[in-house]
Amino acid sequence: MKLFMNKTSSISALVVMAGVLAVSSVEAAKQPNVVFIFTDDHSAHAISAYGSRINKTPHIDRIAQEGMRFKKCYVTNAICGPSRAVILTGKHSHLNGFFQNGRSPFDGSQQTFPKLLRKVGYETAMIGKWHLKSVPTGFDHFDVLIGQGPYYNPPMRTTNDAGEVVVEKNTGYTTDLVTDKALDWLKQERKGDKPFMLMLQHKAPHRNWQPGPDHLNSFNNIEIPEPETLWDDYTGRSKAAANQTMTIARHLTPNDLKLNAGPNNLTPEQKKLWDAAYQPKNDAFLKANLQGKDRIKWMYQRYIKDYLRCVQSVDDNIGRVLKYLDDTGLADDTVVIYSSDQGWYLGEHGWYDKRWMYEESLVMPLVIRWPGVVEPGSINEDIVSNLDFAETFLDIAGATIPDDMQGKSFLPILKGSTPADWRKTFYYHYYEFPGAHSVARHYGVTDGHYKLINFYENKDWEMFDLTADPNELQSIYGRKEYAGIQSRLEKELARLRKYYNVPKEDPDSTRPKPRQKRANNKK
């Protein structure tokens, strides 16, 4: 710094320039590899590092123990495809154009972080669940599931030697197969003379939770504890919470509950294992003829065990990746990240699924290991987001972060020092209504202590004190004693909407507006 202050000496200026060049070339030589392991619908409260009461995830825990665990990583829009689009672009849904699952394909011609990483010398690969409809762009290699992809024997989209996009058949359990393919890419296919960004993205543990051969009988003789709010009656909040269609009691199908013939795409060997696992349990269930609450309790056990069985295969396969990095010595120069596209309801509020700004779906798990940079066993409580992932990856790689990205690099936080101006509040916006599970459109703000939600099409508001009411059962919106806090949050919400350039009119016009049906606004 002293050299910078001595502006009168041209010799000093030259020394500074030489120093800057030397630093940047050293930095360039140190560009680390990144392995980004990402799942679909894995809630933080089904990870033992996050205090799970219901399962153990030793390999994800290892990443946390050897790195940093984030307690407040919030998703901007708690649903699969939109979360992925935010990660690729560093922009909210209203700017990247991907508001909902099942609508228009992701516009792959726009700026994404993998394209920018390639410009600074990275080799990039995307293996597993893509879920954005369009053909992946910005990758030296991709091998992706088609749409959601099945749990067993998935066809996958890749390119052949001539560079043409082709669909290839595969046999095996998808979580294992995706890991096999990622390891094959690391071992054989990548060129090896460049740092790499590997996006290893699992389908699991997405609905309808089909366990793999290794875990069909895990948790068999265990009673999984029920969450406190399994029997929520939705009083104390706006109508939205009662009007959804995502309850364990009423909205799981026989397919979800494995009370039908099972998946129709299994090999004879897979089918044999499947039937051996489910048939005796299903026979016992039918014989018991459970009714009322007992039946719902059984449904919770069936649902949660299948979910956790899928999670255990994910964790096993993360162990395989970590072992490979250890065995090859790559671990020292590789940032390993585990996250999932949003949180998930493990029976809380009587629900499965996601979508809401309530904590269970708002919080994404995020653990990051980077030997020599991230302090092992560190825990961070700053508000970070999937909106920051692109910026952070670029920063890690020493690339310039474009001005039009909306998040911030949390590299300083990884290095142990939170910037003084780091965000204290967070903006959320969910759009998929009408849609699966009938969760009303809403946006809101939280500072991690209080939360204000606007169900804007219902003209309903909710507000929660997360310290006094961590389960978000009693809205305090409109209460006199909270008037000051409410006013502060309302102003902050307006400021954030302006800051992020959210249009006043709902920017997602992919369906007729309420009470104003128009035929011409379908995209």
Q: How many CB atoms lie within 10 A of CB 483?
A: 10
Contacts 24+ apart (CB under 8 A), 390-396: 390/87, 390/88, 390/89, 390/90, 390/112, 390/113, 391/90, 393/34, 393/36, 393/113, 393/117, 393/197, 394/113, 394/116, 394/117, 396/32, 396/34, 396/335
Closer residue to Ca ion (CB): 80 or 252 = 80
Distance in Å, CB of 428 to Ca ion, minimum: 15
Please, which residues bridge with residue 38 across strands?
201, 339
Query: E-assigned strands of 186-266?
Result: 196-201
Distance in Å, CB of 79 to Ca ion, minimum: 6
Distance in Å, CB of 130 to Ca ion, minimum: 13
Task: Please tell me whether residue 143 binds Ca ion under the rule CB under 5 A.
Answer: no
Distance in Å, CB of 346 to Ca ion, minimum: 14
Distance in Å, CB of 189 to Ca ion, minimum: 28
Task: Please tell me whether residue 40 binds Ca ion under the rule CB under 5 A.
Answer: yes
Distance CA(137)–CA(167), nearest Å, equals: 17
Strand 426-430 with 442-446, pairing: antiparallel
List the structure tokens of 499.
């800051």
Closer residue to Ca ion (CB): 31 or 76 = 76
**Interacting residues with Ca ion between 145 and 164 (CB under 5 A):** none
Closer residue to Ca ion (CB): 206 or 369 = 206
From the list 5-13, 32-40, 297-305, 401-409, the region that binds Ca ion by CB under 5 A is 32-40
Closer residue to Ca ion (CB): 195 or 365 = 365
Distance CA(232)–CA(180), nearest Å, equals: 42
Closer residue to Ca ion (CB): 342 or 380 = 342
Distance CA(123)–CA(136), nearest Å, equals: 15
Distance in Å, CB of 349 to Ca ion, minimum: 18
Strand-by-strand arrangement of the 363-364 sheet: 363-364, 73-74, 384-385
Would you put residue 478 in left (φ > 0), alpha (ψ -120 to 50) or beta?
left
Closer residue to Ca ion (CB): 77 or 270 = 77
* H or E segment to which residue 430 belongs: strand 426-430
Distance CA(122)–CA(281), nearest Å, equals: 50
CA distances from 514 to 236, 437, 441, 511, 517 (A): 26, 18, 12, 9, 7
DSSP, collapsed to helix, strand or coil, labels residue 384 as: strand
Task: Please tell me whether residue 472 binds Ca ion under the rule CB under 5 A.
Answer: no
Closer residue to Ca ion (CB): 206 or 305 = 206
* Total of residues contacting Ca ion (CB under 5 A): 4
* H or E segment to which residue 368 belongs: strand 366-369
Distance in Å, CB of 78 to Ca ion, minimum: 8
**Selected binder of Ca ion within 38, 41, 391, 429 (CB under 5 A):** 41
Closer residue to Ca ion (CB): 41 or 306 = 41
Distance in Å, CB of 450 to Ca ion, minimum: 26
From the list 73-81, 101-109, 432-440, 485-493, the region that binds Ca ion by CB under 5 A is 73-81
Closer residue to Ca ion (CB): 40 or 315 = 40
Closer residue to Ca ion (CB): 40 or 462 = 40
From the list 79-87, 365-373, 438-446, 499-507, the region that binds Ca ion by CB under 5 A is 79-87
Closer residue to Ca ion (CB): 82 or 136 = 82
* Cβ contact 174:154 at 8 Å: yes
Q: Which residue is nearest to Ca ion (CB)?
A: 80
Site string for Ca ion, 340-369 (x = CB under 5 A): -x----------------------------
Closer residue to Ca ion (CB): 66 or 359 = 359
Task: Please tell me whether residue 306 binds Ca ion under the rule CB under 5 A.
Answer: no
Distance in Å, CB of 347 to Ca ion, minimum: 17
List the structure tokens of 240.
């939205």
Strand-by-strand arrangement of the 450-455 sheet: 426-430, 442-446, 450-455, 460-465
From the list 75-83, 121-129, 141-149, 472-480, the region that binds Ca ion by CB under 5 A is 75-83
Distance in Å, CB of 295 to Ca ion, minimum: 28
**Interacting residues with Ca ion between 250 and 279 (CB under 5 A):** none
Distance in Å, CB of 39 to Ca ion, minimum: 8
Omega before residue 402 within 30° of 0, cis: no
Closer residue to Ca ion (CB): 351 or 370 = 351
Q: Which amino acid would we find at residue 186?
A: L
Site string for Ca ion, 324-343 (x = CB under 5 A): -----------------x--
Task: Please tell me whether residue 80 binds Ca ion under the rule CB under 5 A.
Answer: yes
Q: What is the CA radius of gyration of the chain?
A: 24
Distance in Å, CB of 206 to Ca ion, minimum: 6
From the list 35-43, 94-102, 153-161, 173-181, the region that binds Ca ion by CB under 5 A is 35-43
Query: E-assigned strands of 40-164?
Result: 68-70, 73-74, 123-128, 141-145, 156-159
Please, which residues bridge with residue 191 across strands?
none
* Distance in angstroms between the alpha carbons of the first and the last residue of the chain: 54
**Site residues for Ca ion per CB under 5 A:** 40-41, 80, 341
